[in-house]
Structure formats: C-alpha cells, structure tokens
Chains A and B, each alone.
Chain A
Amino acid sequence: MRSVRLDYALRVFWGLLLVFLYAPLAVVVFFSFNSINSSARFAGFSLQWYERLFRNEAIVSALMNTVVLALASTLIAVVIGGLLGYGFYRYRLGRLSWLVWLIYLPVIMPDIVFGIAEMTFFVAINERLGILSPGLGTMVIAHVTFQVPFVALLVNARLLSLDPQLFEACHDLYAAPWQRARFFLLPVLRPAILSSFLLALTLSIDDFVISFFTAGPQSTTLPIYIWSAIKKGVTPEVNAIATLMIGSVLLVALFSLLAQHGSSGGKQSKGGTKA
C-alpha cells in the first residue's frame, strides 16, 4: 500500500514541477503585454509590442523564414527518412547493414560540432563550385540531415512491431510495389509518419545552433533575430516574438494530442530535441 503521505508529497512535487516548467514561458508571455519597456515591472496591458512587431520588416521576414525552414525541412525529412526507415527494415540483412550506424551519428554528435562541420563544409564547397552559399537552402539541408535519422528510427520501430506475415500476405495480394505502398504500407505507417512529422517539426523549431552557423544574410530566422536582439537586454519586443513561437508550439502540442486520440494505434510520440 502506498502511504497517503507519500502520495500527498508527490502531488505537491508535481505542482512545483509544473511551476518550474511553465514559469519561464509564462513570464515571457506576461511581459510581452507590458505597456512599458521593462521585464521587471508590469505597468499595464498593451498590445503595442505586437503592433511594432508586425510593422518591422526584418521580423516579418524572419517569421517567414522560420516557417519556410521548418515546413520545408520537415516535409523533405519525412519522405527521405520514411524511405530510409522502410529500406532498413526491408533489406536489413543485406550488405548494407553497416549503414545503420549512419543513423546514430547525428544523434550523438553535439549540435555545435554539427553546425560548424556543416558551415566549414559549405564554405569549402562554395569556394570551389560556387554552389551552396549560406542561406535558406543550406539551412534546409542541415535541418533535413539531423531530422532524417529520427524519422527513420520511428518508422523502422513501427515496422518492427508488425507481424512479418502481414508483409507476405500483402505480397500475395498486391502485385505492384506502388499498390503495396498505397494500400498496405501507408495505412499501417500512418501513425508513425504523423508522429515523425511532429517530431521532425519540433526538432526544427527547437534548433538554434545549427541554423545560426548555416544561415546567410537573407535567411535570418526568429531565434537568430532574438539572439542578436537580447544582447541589448530582454525587451517586451523580444518577449512578444518569443510568445508567438510559444503559441505555435502549443498549437503543435494540441494537434499532436488530437492526433493521438484520433488514431488508436498511435503511441505516445517520443518528443523532445535532438539528443
């Protein structure tokens, strides 16, 4: 029997933990509505920082870049990573089994090493071939590269959990590979694809370091904008931009919750950042 006292202590602990987890975000949101330029004293409610935000061309274009980067890299990564996860499942006994190690490389490599390796590589290529000059393109490539392994792992895990006999049955049922993909693989992989889409999206939104080192003059994203703005101290304007990002993440969270309820087979997606 669990003691009542322990249970009570755990409840209090849980409450405090929620405060710890959400206080920093709440403070950011709260002070973004401050009517004065301070994050220590709240003088009154105002939307002026948001108005300024949307009148500031640099911020609006950073917002656009953030959205384009996150969506483009996630879509590409889900396709490439999904194929890779399937390929590893289907051909795992082949001569290519050593390739599996490729997947773990981005997982253990520190962000900062990843970022500078990409940066120096892009610079070297650019000097010689004139392609891959720093910008949204190089950022998408870098993001896709760290997203692909996570997508592949999720899709692969889902396939491993299926009964191998299903595949044989499917083979007998449909002759053409595209039919198998369309009528069998896609439906059974739907939950895994959905959760890997969300995971890849959050990985992209969470990243700062890799974006920072692969960005060019015209591809500033919101986190990079904030990074240079907070050198002057945290202002309500910075808090307002941050609030927009927090809001969008809450939307993603809500969406993932609904998606979980929608698909019974969908397990809790292992969320979080790139390790």
Chain B
Amino acid sequence: MSDAIMLRNVAFRFGKEFAIRDLSMSVPTGAIYGFLGPNGSGKTTTIKLILGMQEPEDGSIEVLGHQMPKAAPQALARIGYVPERLHLYASLTVDEVMRFHQAFYATWDATRAEELRRQFNLRHEQLVSRLSKGESGKLMMLLALATQPDLLVLDEPTDGLDPVVRRDVLSALVEYVSARNATVLVSSHLVHEQERICDWVGVMDEGRLVAEMPMHAFRSGVKRLRVNGAPPVLPAAPFTLLGRSPVAGQEEEWGVRGWQPEMQSWLEAQGATLRETIDLDLEESFVELLRTSRSGGNR
C-alpha cells in the first residue's frame, strides 16, 4: 500500500521558540490517520507543511505523489482542507462562498454540495460572519467534501462544536470516506473521538513524532505493570519500557509497550515479581506516551 502523505526528515523553525526536528511520518492511502498531540505540539504547523503553505528548511514532503511545496497547486486540487479556525471571507454569504470555492475546483460536485447544505441546515443568504461556530465548521466541511478530494486534511474539525453538530460532521466524513475510499488526516487532541474513527494514529509532541502505529496496536499495546524487587539496571527487555516510577518500598509502576503475558518469565529472571497488569484506555496510553517522551524515557 502506497502512502498518501510521506514526510522524510523534515525540519522547520518557527520563531526562536518552536521547531520541528527530523520529522518523518507516513499516512497510508485509504487510512483515516489520527494526528494526536497536545496543543502547541506542532500538529497545525505540520499540516501547513503538508499543504505547502510553509516551506521546510530541510527534508522532503510528498503528498499524493506530488513534491511539496513545489507542486502544491496540483496536490491541493485533490485535497479537501478544513482548518482549525474559520478561514473563509467573512463578508460573503454561504451561497457566494460556495460559488467562489467552486471556481477553483474542476471536481466540484454541485449536487452533493447542495445536499450537504440542506443536510447541515445552512441557508444560502447567511453571511459567513454571522455563522455560529458549528455552522462555520459545517460550511468548511461542506466545501472540503464537495470538491471530492482524494485526501482530506482536517485540523481540529470538531473542536468546540456541540455533540449534535460534531456527530453531523463526523457522519458526513465517514460516509464520504467509505464511499470514496479517501485518505483522511485528522488532527485533534480529543483522543476518544479519534479512537472511534481512526485506523492509524500518530502522536506528536514538542515538534517530534513520538509514536506512529495502527490504532489497534496503539489501543492494546500500552500497559502499566506493578513490579516488585526489580534491580535498578536492567538488561535489554523483550518489550519497550516507556518509564518506571517508585510506588512504595520496592514496588514500582512501569509503563510498557509490546507486553505479552509470557514475558513474565523474563521479569522473574531479573529477580522481580509481577504483581499486577493494568490495561490502559487510549487516553491513558496517550498520556503515558507523552509523559515518558517528555522525561526522555526508554521507548
């Protein structure tokens, strides 16, 4: 399976404070790729690099087979983009925005656009500046979907939306993806939402990609172990030790990835005893991952 988005060793500096260093990521074609990360972790900047709005200082970016930002217009013609905040011209009406957008896309599906407009309860004459947050989100999704893109790039598409609107937007998205087999890169810090729709996940923190894997691996892969009597220095383990922290006496809590029950014998060989294995949900896994990545833990 080829990759719809491929970043190789990308470096980018934004001001003195923030930088993306040596970023490599791949979004498989047809995947719904959840791009997770706390606020300010670099998700939006990475998306802007992917869309060719910013130029990387180093590395290469390929989107739908096009080098970015050199071939941005060709790639953008096949991309539907929903940014974090409303980016449309405020003084235009819904109808005018649709007509403006249509002028730039040969693939514009007017019938589908009209269906979505009705489905989203948007009125033709409504001014963009008067739209509520939910209506703005729906309009941006409408524009993205009506261009029939091969790749949808959604930056916090449901952030701040009420549950009803959120469901409308997500169902329109899922419906489109299932019908077209399109690739979706959806950035969010709402982990549970990602868990429902994504089949791939990438976690970004402080300008680095700290994990990238299929969702099922991510969901089941991170566990917390309560271990007693482990020596301070351990030889190479058959699992990934994300971090260890003392609890009481000789007891410690370990964050691990790739744990299997049969690995208990390795622990015992080190003179340690496994007291408990705790399954983590996606959010806890996410937090554990960030915690260990920030403390420079062993991955």
The yes or no verdict on A and B being binding partners is no
